[in-house]
Structure 1
Amino acid sequence: MQNEQENYNITPSNSESKLFGLTYRPTPSDRELEWDRTKVLLSKTDSKGNILYANESFIDVCGYDDFELMDKSHNIIRHPDMPKVIFKIMWEKIQTGEGFHVVMKNMSKTGRYYWVVNDLKTAKDNFGVLTFTGQQKSVHPDLISKIIEPLYRKLLQIQVASGVQSSENYLIGFLEERNMTYTQFIDQLIFTGVDTIQEKDDTIKVSIPKKKGFFSGFFADEKPTAKKK
């Protein structure tokens, strides 16, 4: 079994500290990337998370050229604000062949961040080798600011103070209180905009436009904007 850092896609290897020895990993910016939120960002990786393919929308939004992405770890776009436990759960699920929905804060080549929900699917070739395909779409900003970002911030704080296992223990309790898995929790937020647990007698609710289609609720309710770097 691969070690935890590699398997959970949570820490770049030494070879990823630079891109071709020329460009260092970008410094995170507190500015959000503006992009066409109607686009589907598609990527495919091998069983180790190395990128095999990325569509034009993925390339356009992350800001890397295609030659910079191919055969590089998908965590080239990983944002340091992401708690490691989310990747831990993700890898455990998709390596068993299960689909997985995960909300992620990504980092572009310029250091700006962008939030997506990633629908991950697993496939096997004729030799039984796994590949993973992810379709990323935008998330309603209120879901991020009111529910996802506060949760991820708390998980990261626990991780820094007490380690990944303690962060995972908190997430397990958080989900058990709702009687849900992580994917069920994300699906509920996407489709209803509601976190069923009441805080001070008020249910946290986000107004999500009603649209048809499985991915429709993922879209932010706004007109497309030009990307800025």
Structure 2
Amino acid sequence: GIITYVNDYFAEISRYSPKELVGQPHSIVRHPDMPKIFFKILWDRIQHGHNFIAAVKNLAKNGRYYWVFTDFEVLKDEDNTPIGYKASRKKISKYVTDILDPIYKKLVEIEKESGMEASQKYLTDFLESYGNDITVDNMLEEIHRLY
């Protein structure tokens, strides 16, 4: 997706000016520690009209990273057809990032060695080890409560 609007908070934490961000792909702030499977799941959900919350590690203009909780809201027309997306960000606690960082790094490592399908299988198996009804969505919702 392309960035169409930047609020003061996003500009401040990303260290980019709104002018530098508007019109750019969201990948401008993508940190290499973020697994590709994460973005595949995200886009699959929102393109099918489902809102999504996520803990995201981003890369600022100055090369430093920052973590945020991002709420992806699907914007729909009067026929309930998705027409766009809005992302709202808020701070995230170190407690949550300490939980997620090693998981994300493991997924990136698997993607480099064996591809995104292997990463998705690892994530699915990892979540299933905590119970059959644990999904990416409800895991992120639970973590969101801890932020």
TM-score by length of 2: 0.91
Q: Pick the aligned partner of 2:118 from 163, 166, 187.
A: 166
Contact 2:74 2:82 in 1 (8 A): no
Deviations 1:150-184 (A, max 9, x none): 11111011111111110011011112223211120
Match of 1:110 in 2: 62
Cα distance in structure 2, aligned partners of 1:135 and 1:174: 28
What residue is the counterpart of 1:130 in the other structure?
A: 83
- Higher helix fraction (1 or 2): 2
Task: Give the residue type in structure 2 aligned to 1:155.
Answer: L
Q: CA deviation at 1:74?
A: 1.0
* Count of matched residue pairs: 144
- Residues in 1 aligned to 2:90 and 2:17: alpha-carbon distance in whole angstroms: 20
**Within 2, Cα distance between the matches of 1:130 and 1:62?**
26
User: C-alpha distance in 2, partners of 1:190/1:93?
Assistant: 17
Q: Which of 123, 135, 138 is 1:184 aligned to?
A: 138
Instruction: Quote the sequence identity (%).
Output: 37
Q: Which AA in structure 2 matches 1:139?
A: I
Per the alignment, residue 40 of structure 2 pairs with 88
Structure 2 unaligned runs (5+)? Answer: none
Question: Partners in 2 of 1:99 and 1:71 — Cα distance?
Answer: 23
8 Å contact kept, 2:59–2:65: yes
User: In 2, Cα distance between the equivalents of 1:189 and 1:50?
Assistant: 27
With CA pairs under 8 Å and 6+ residues apart, which has the higher RCO, 1 or 2? 1
Q: Which amino acid aligns with 1:180?
A: I
Structure 1's unaligned 5+ residue stretches are 1-48, 194-217, 219-229
1:35-57: CA deviations, max 9, x gaps?
xxxxxxxxxxxxxx101111111
Give 1:83's aligned amino acid.
Answer: P
Q: Say yes or no: does 1:140 pair with 2:93.
A: yes
Q: Structure 2 counterpart of 1:74, which letter?
A: H
